[in-house]
Chain A
Amino acid sequence: MTYRTHTIEFEHSKISRLLLEGSKDTLLPNFLLELSTESMRGLNGLGFKPRDLTEVEATLEEEVPEPPAIQLKDDNSIERPTPIGPASEKCPVVAVDVSSIRIGESEQGLLYSLRGAIVWRIGSSYNFTRCGPITFHLNDDMARSIVARRYSSEHVAYSTWSPVTERLLARLRNSLERWMQEIACSRIGDGIVLLDGSLTAGTPDNPAFYVEAILRKARKNGNRVMAFSKETRLCYSGRKITRLLEGISIPCILDIDRLIVPQFPSTPVRLMGRVYLAKLGWKSFPFRVDIDRQLSEEKSVDTFSLLMGSDLVEQGYPETLRLAHILSTFTANEVLAIQRYLSIEYGLKIMPRLSLRRSLFGPFGTCKEAS
């Protein structure tokens, strides 16, 4: 169901600060900018294999490999979903999303770019601030540099040095995402902050203290934090848990928190959100939604109604969050532009792409390219 006809009015003053020019410098954390500049410095004149965009156009976004599914105990009976509708009162809605993309590889490492977007709604129009792209040359030197410069304790939160560049990327991405989420939480009041993913934290790549800080800041400003997961690993009776709302066409929510809590020990992974399944529109998609655990149960339920009244909810997904995703995602054309920028700025020499499969098997080497 679409609520396009709703008139949504906010207190402009509460969110207009996001537009202030002066805030630009704080939109991206200095430590990431420095890290980017420092990592790219070593690139000068190196050989460069740009990412081949023709074959991967459809799957450009870097998806971190999905960990195995979590089976929830199905000995407890499931409650009936609670129907919900849009609230009459409105509030500001802000959403944050961050994307990462592989640009190519140098002789000494991998090149990745990050970009984040904050989208919010004023009156009936949407506004955004987009930060990036910032590019990193990920290699062992960079990981050592992070440890040496004590970024670990402050932001990137390395408990141990990891040689795996993908994990390095996950941490950088997490750093930027949490930074931007914190900005969003602190710059609006009495509103809803929408995040991509869940409020589960406590892994080396996603430290709990940072999520805690975000939630603290949000509460201080009277904001309610909701996190939408497009994909969930949670399974119930052998099926994805979102299928519990299958066959229900009206907007509804289902509290599945009590099924999940026993699955997670208190440390190191922490569930900082109360977990729901939510279908926020007629015949829409179901999503796992986490809401700040420190909000009362009643207030949590109200938050869904408040969101439905304050934002467009197309196919069960809030428009602000959809726009944040669209604005942060890289297109193949942008990857090309970054590749062009890098070759001009750092004098990179484009290296021919060697395909081991093609070399060995000729026309029969049809699978993935060796890289």
Chain B
Amino acid sequence: MKIYKKQGDTIQIICSPEESMEKGDYLLIEDRKVNRGLIVQVVDIQFANLPGILEDILRDVITEGTVQGCDYDPFNISSQIAVLKDTKLLVCKIRGAIEDGKPKPDVSWLPSRTNSRIIPFPIERLTSSDVRKPVTIGKTKTNPLTVDVRMLDGRLNIITGRKGTGKSHLSKLLLLALIHNGAPCLVFDVNGEYVNIGVGKCNKPIDLAEKIKILVPGRNLKFTLDGVGLRSFLDTMIYALDLPRTSSKVFSRIWSELERCGNLNLNSLAETIRRFNCHESVREAINSRYHTILDLDLFTDDPASAFDFNYFQRKLNEGSAFIVNMRDQHSLSRRFIVELFLSKLTEQLSEMRLKAIFLFAEEAHFYLRETYWDDIVTRMRHLGIFTTFITNQPDTVQESVYRQADNIFMFNFTNENDLDAVSKVSKIDAESLRLIVKDLPAHNCLIVGDIVRDFPVVVNVKPLDVQTMGQTRKFFQD
């Protein structure tokens, strides 16, 4: 391999066909005279534009099929011609430098074209060094990629890619790694894909099974008014059910009155709304939303069968994971549950009753209200909600999330609109992202961000030993 050109942060390298380079691979351009090296990543592979190649190919086209024959090539020059025809041009991006064997950020120098040696560079050497809480995500072209789970801590993460490329699989892998390391987790599971995460392939519970709690709304996820509290309930009424501000003030007064009398239950709430001295339109607004909530079958007056947020807080602090299975739930129900949990979490975190939580939000646009996106990126993050968004519709995630994301796990996208959306990510240049992501095979993922020390890495995500349940149900079975 030889350096051909450098322009900006792009270096073009001429590479013989025998070298099996792929997009995402790392190379070290080692200038031994100065004992420095440039770390570059292959972002595109093209054919080298050699003089006369067009004539060669034209001749092949002219003669192919219609003209048959044989070559008597006594010195076997044709093998060299074949080599030249297939000579590759590697388009690489400079990712870092090495000086005296240590990584350096200074990439403002140029290695010698003639003296440099270009060799494949195992990037895991840099991304997997000093890992204290390791998790093996998969394999790069040559070695397993082990990263530090701590790099998800305090971070905003995105897992995105086309349908069926392995997003949920990776998010389960990260979730299990967090649980394994005692991190509190909450998963908003839209498709019921995580419910068997505690069960191994052999149908036996895995070691971490005890730490995983599955919540099914209406079944083991019901709330009491008292348990939820006015603030969370009101937030939900306002944000999930669009209760007007004036009506919300009246509702607060109703709630406070019932609390003062020690009579806060579903029947008395309904009764008080009916007889409370307020404008008829306000009453109607409150009443209709209250009945909507009742219809969702999420509330009970029986404290024994209700979900206990104190238990939730305690278990989280012990390092458990809660999976809220929102499959088959009405969209309103989803929004209500999410509002309620986020409101409760904010409350518990701000009162320092909960240290932090790792939130996994699958297809969040289905249940997350507009104002929450910025809130999650800024306020909630500072409180200790560290979110991982998982989506196959990247344009549904707000641009600010991409810009501020600390770790991005990208699976294949071919659609230009999708690529446009993900290219807003600030941790990698848009050109590299587009070129690599477009050609990623299924289960291969481009990881960018803190977790890989800002060296974008392509990894083949390893299989999991748990029941992943992510497959789409099909009518025609083989």
Q: Do A and B bind each other?
A: yes
Flag if A323 contacts B83 (CB, 8 Å): no
Asked if B69 contacts A341 (CB within 8 A), the reply is no
- Could you tell me if B84 and A337 are in contact, using CB atoms closer than 8 angstroms? yes
Cβ B55 vs Cβ A331 within 8 A: yes
Given the known A-B contacts A24-B72, A126-B66, are A57 and B80 also in contact in the complex, defined by CB atoms under 8 Å?
no
- In the complex, chain B residues whose CB is within 8 Å of the CB of A57: 51-52
A-side contacts of B50, CB under 8 Å:
332-333, 336
A340 to B74, CA, bound (A): 16
Partner of A340, one of B59, B68, B84: B84
Knowing that A323-B63, A333-B53, A334-B56 touch, tell me 8 more A-B residue pairs with CB under 8 angstroms. Answer: A27-B72, A28-B72, A57-B52, A130-B70, A327-B59, A331-B55, A336-B51, A340-B80
Among A129, A335, A341, the one with the most B-chain Cβ atoms within 10 Å of its Cβ is A341
Query: With an 8 A cutoff between CB atoms, is A133 at the interface?
Result: yes
Q: Contacts A130-B72, A337-B80 given: A332-B63 contact, CB under 8 Å? A: no
Residues of B contacting A331 in the complex (Cβ-Cβ under 8 angstroms): 52-53, 55-56, 59
Shortest distance in angstroms between A323's beta carbon and chain B's nearest beta carbon? 6
Asked whether any CB of chain A lies closer than 8 Å to the CB of B131, the reply is no
Q: Which residues 334-359 of A have a CB within 8 angstroms of B?
A: 334-338, 340-341, 345
Q: A244 contacts the other chain (Cβ, under 8 Å)? A: no
Chain A stretch 7-28: residues in CB contact (< 8 A) with chain B: 19, 24, 27-28
- Expressed in whole angstroms, the Cα–Cα distance for A19 and B55 within the complex equals 26
Whether B52 and A125, one on each chain, are in contact in the complex, defined by CB atoms closer than 8 angstroms, is: no
A33 to chain B: which residues have CB within 8 Å?
74
Cα(A333)–Cα(B70), bound, Å: 20
Given known A129-B69, A336-B84, contact A341–B59 (CB-CB < 8 A): no
Report if B85 contacts A (CB, 8 A).
yes
Q: Are the CB atoms of A323 and B52 closer together than 8 Å?
A: no
Inside 8 A of B80's CB, which chain A residues have their CB? Answer: 337-338, 340-341
Interface of A is mostly: helix
Residues on B with C-beta less than 8 A from A334 are 52, 56, 77, 81
Q: For residues 312 through 336 of chain A, which have their beta carbon under 8 Å from a beta carbon of chain B?
A: 323, 326-327, 331-336
Chain A residues within CB distance 8 Å of chain B: 19, 24, 27-28, 33, 53-54, 57, 60, 119, 125-135, 323, 326-327, 331-338, 340-341, 345
Q: Which residues of B contact A (CB under 8 A)?
A: 50-53, 55-56, 59, 62-63, 66-75, 77-78, 80-81, 83-85
Minimum CB–CB distance for A37 against chain B, Å: 9
Give the residue of A19, A335, A340 whose beta carbon is less than 8 angstroms from that of B52.
Answer: A335
Residue of B whose beta carbon sits closest to that of A334:
B81
A332 to B50, CA, bound (A): 8
Specify which of B52, B72, B75, B77 is in contact with A129 (CB 8 Å cutoff).
B72
Is the pair A127, B69 in contact by a Cβ cutoff of 8 Å?
yes
Top 8 A-B residue pairs of the complex, sorted by shortest distance between their CB atoms: A332-B52, A128-B69, A331-B52, A332-B51, A333-B52, A337-B80, A337-B81, A331-B55
A327 and B63 contact, Cβ closer than 8 Å, known pairs A60-B52, A333-B53: yes
Which of B53, B68, B70 is packed against the most chain A CB atoms within 10 Å?
B70
Indicate if the CB atoms of A337 and B63 lie closer than 8 Å: no
What's the Cα separation between A19 and B53 when bound, in Å? 29
Report chain A residues within 8 Å CB of B63.
128, 323, 326-327
In whole Å, how far is A213's beta carbon from the nearest beta carbon of chain B? 22
Q: What is the CA–CA distance of A234 and B442 in the complex, to the nearest angstrom?
A: 69
Residues in B neighbouring A129, C-beta threshold 8 A: 69-72
Select the residue from A128, A134, A333, A336 with max chain B CB neighbours within 10 A.
Answer: A333
Chain A residues within an 8 Å CB radius of B59: 326-327, 331
- 10 A-B pairs, CB-CB below 8 angstroms? A19-B70, A27-B72, A60-B52, A128-B68, A323-B62, A327-B69, A333-B52, A333-B84, A341-B75, A345-B75
Q: For residue B285, give the distance in angstroms from its CB to the closest CB of chain A.
A: 78
Known: A119-B67, A337-B84. A134 touches B52 (CB 8 A): no
A residues within 8 A CB of B66?
A: 125-126
